[in-house]
Amino acid sequence: MNRRKLLQLLSKGAAAGAFVKLSGGLAQSKIPQGATESMKVLGATLREYGERSEFEKDVIRYISPNLRSRHTGADFAPLEKLEGVITPSSLHFERHHGGVPNVNPADYRLVIHGMVERPLMFTLQDLKRFPSVTRTYFIECAGNGQNGYRNPPDMTLTATRSRGLVSNSSWTGVPLSILLKEAGLKEGARWLIPEGQDAAAYTRSLPLEKALDDVLVAYAQNGEAIRPEQGYPVRLVVPGWEGSIQVKWLRRIQVTDTPVMSKDETSEYTDVMADGKIYAFTWVMDPESIITYPSGLQQIQRGFHEIRGLAWSGHGRIRRVEISLDGGKSWKQASLEPAPDALSVVRFKYNWVWDGKETVIMSRAWDEKGNTQPTQEEFFAKWARNNRYHYNAIQAWRIGADGKVVNGDKTLAGAPAQLGAVGRGGCGGES
C-alpha cells in the first residue's frame, strides 16, 4: 500500500475517531468524547513477570494474629474472593513445621534407599527426564474446618476461616511408581518414609500401595515451578489424602517394612473418637463443601443471587451438591462446574431470589462412593469434642433481614465452651 492510499484510508476513518495525524512516524489517536484518564496516556510497559492489578491487593491469605510463630502454623486461602476452581499459586494455603527453606535447585538431590535393589540419587534434571504427567488435585490440611469445634460458634467466621486450608492446583511431575520401579523393591517392602529438608526434617509414613497408585513427585504447579512455600523444588502430592502426608522439599524416601511412627503421626494428626478411642493413619479426606457467596460477614440485598461454593472429596469425584434455603428442612440440587474430576475441587451454583426474610442457607456434597457430609450432631456422635482434625460437618450461614451474613452453626447442648481446636490454637492459630 502506498502513502497516498494509506492517507486516504486514515482520513476516511477520522470521522469515526480513527487515526487523523501522522507525526514522526507515530500515529496519534483522537481522544474520544468522555474518555477516561487511562485513555489519555500510555499504559505500563512490557514486564518480565506479570503482576496483578493494584486494585486487587486485598485478595490475600489470612494469617491469624494468634499464631505464636509464623515459622510453624498455617495460613488460609481466601475462598470467598476467588473464582473458578484453580487456586492461584500465590494464594494456595500454607502449612509449615519449621519455616520455608531456601533450596538451590542446582544442589538438589532426591535419594531413594532402604529395601530396594538399587539405591538411587536423582538431581532435579534427572527427575524431569522421566515421563511426566499433569493432574489437577486438591490438597487439604487435616485441620481444615477446625473452627467447627468451637462452641458456641464464632459469629465472625468467614468462608476463609471455615474451610480455607484447602487449595486446588494443576500439578506436574513424575509418578512415584516409576522411580520405585527404577530402584527395584525388595520382598517385604510395605512402607515409604519420605523426609523433607526443612528445619523440622518433616517425616511421615506412606503405605507402598498408595505410592504405587497415584502419588506424584511434583516439580511444577499451575504451569510453573512450585512456589517455595509449596515445596520448591520438589514435593510429594498424595491425591485425596490429608496434606500432612504430602511432604514438601522432598529430600529422601526410605523404603521399609514398617511405619516410622514419627511425631507428626503419633502426637499430631491422630484422631480422638467419641468413644475415647484414638485412631492413627486416618489419611483420606471425607467429602466437604462450603458456600462462598453469600457467606460470613458479607452483605446482600433483596433480589436475585447466584449462590456459589466449592466441593471436594478424597474418595473420588463429587457427584452431587445440594443447597438448603431453610436451615436443612428441604434440599435442592445445585449445578456443578466444570465437570468434576476425581480428587479435585468442583464449583457449585444455584440461582436464588431472596425475599428479604431471615433464613439459613447451607450446602452438602455427595461423592461417587456415596459418602456425604454429616450435620453437626451426626459429626460429634462419631468424633470427640476435643479432636482437632477431619471436621467436615455442614457449614450453615444465617442471613438476617438486614442482609448481613453470619455463621449459622448451632450452639450444641452440653458442649464445653472451649474445645480442642480452640484451647490449643490449632495449626491455623485460631484460638
Q: Looking at the domain assignment, is residue 419 inside a domain?
A: no
Give me 423's grid cell.
Answer: 484451647
Interval 395-412 mean pLDDT: 97
| Contact (Cβ atoms closer than 8 angstroms) between residue 327 and residue 363 | no
Regarding whether 136 and 207 lie in a shared domain, the answer is yes
Q: Looking at the domain assignment, is residue 5 inside a domain?
A: no
Regarding whether 306 and 256 lie in a shared domain, the answer is no
Q: Is the pLDDT at 270 greater than 70, yes or no?
A: yes
Q: Looking at the domain assignment, is residue 12 inside a domain?
A: no
Q: Is the pLDDT at 39 greater than 80, yes or no?
A: yes
Regarding whether 197 and 323 lie in a shared domain, the answer is no
Q: Is the pLDDT at 388 greater than 90, yes or no?
A: no
Q: State how many domains the chain has.
A: 2
Last residue of a domain, one of 279, 305, 323: 279
Q: Looking at residue 386, what is its pLDDT?
A: 83
Average pLDDT, the chain: 91
Regarding whether 371 and 252 lie in a shared domain, the answer is no
Looking at the DSSP bridge assignments, the partners of residue 196 are 250
Q: Looking at residue 25, what is its pLDDT?
A: 44
Given pLDDT bands bounded at 50, 70 and 90, which one contains residue 86? Answer: very high
Strand, helix or coil for residue 368: coil
We report the CATH number of the domain holding residue 332 as 2.60.40.650
Which range among 46-55, 340-349, 382-391 shows the weakest confidence by mean pLDDT? 382-391
Q: Is the pLDDT at 7 greater than 60, yes or no?
A: no
Regarding whether 115 and 182 lie in a shared domain, the answer is yes
Q: Looking at the domain assignment, is residue 354 inside a domain?
A: yes
Interval 225-250 mean pLDDT: 98
Regarding whether 293 and 273 lie in a shared domain, the answer is no
> To the nearest 5 percent, what fractions of the chain are helix, strand and coil?
15, 30, 50
User: Tell me, what amino acid is at 294?
Assistant: P
Last residue of a domain, one of 247, 279, 311: 279
Q: Looking at the domain assignment, is residue 207 inside a domain?
A: yes
Q: Work out the number of other CB atoms within 10 angstroms of the CB of residue 265.
A: 19
We report the CATH number of the domain holding residue 116 as 3.90.420.10
Selected residue with higher pLDDT from 126 and 151:
126
Regarding whether 273 and 298 lie in a shared domain, the answer is no
Regarding whether 372 and 296 lie in a shared domain, the answer is yes
Regarding whether 272 and 336 lie in a shared domain, the answer is no
Give me 65's grid cell.
Answer: 494474629
Distance CA 60, CA 51 (A): 14
Interval 400-414 mean pLDDT: 94
pTM exceeds 0.85 for this model? yes
Q: Is the pLDDT at 431 greater than 70, yes or no?
A: no
Q: Looking at the domain assignment, is residue 310 inside a domain?
A: yes
Interval 8-22 mean pLDDT: 44
Q: What angle do CA 16, 44, 81 make, to 5 degrees?
A: 100
Interval 1-6 mean pLDDT: 53
Q: Is the pLDDT at 363 greater than 70, yes or no?
A: yes
Given pLDDT bands bounded at 50, 70 and 90, which one contains residue 154? Answer: very high
Regarding whether 320 and 211 lie in a shared domain, the answer is no
Last residue of a domain, one of 233, 252, 279: 279
**In percent, how much of the chain has pLDDT > 70?**
90
Regarding whether 274 and 245 lie in a shared domain, the answer is yes
- Residue-number span of the structural domain to which 158 is assigned: 75-279
Q: Looking at the domain assignment, is residue 358 inside a domain?
A: yes
What are the tens digits of pLDDT across the range 189-207?
A: 999 999 999 999 999 999 9
Given pLDDT bands bounded at 50, 70 and 90, which one contains residue 230? Answer: very high
**In percent, how much of the chain has pLDDT > 90?**
80
Interval 86-105 mean pLDDT: 97
Looking at the DSSP bridge assignments, the partners of residue 366 are 320, 372
Q: Work out the number of other CB atoms within 10 angstroms of the CB of residue 68.
A: 10
Q: DSSP per residue over 237-280, as a string?
A: E-TTBBGGGS-SSEEEEEEESS----GGGTTSS-EEBTTS-EE-
Regarding whether 264 and 382 lie in a shared domain, the answer is no
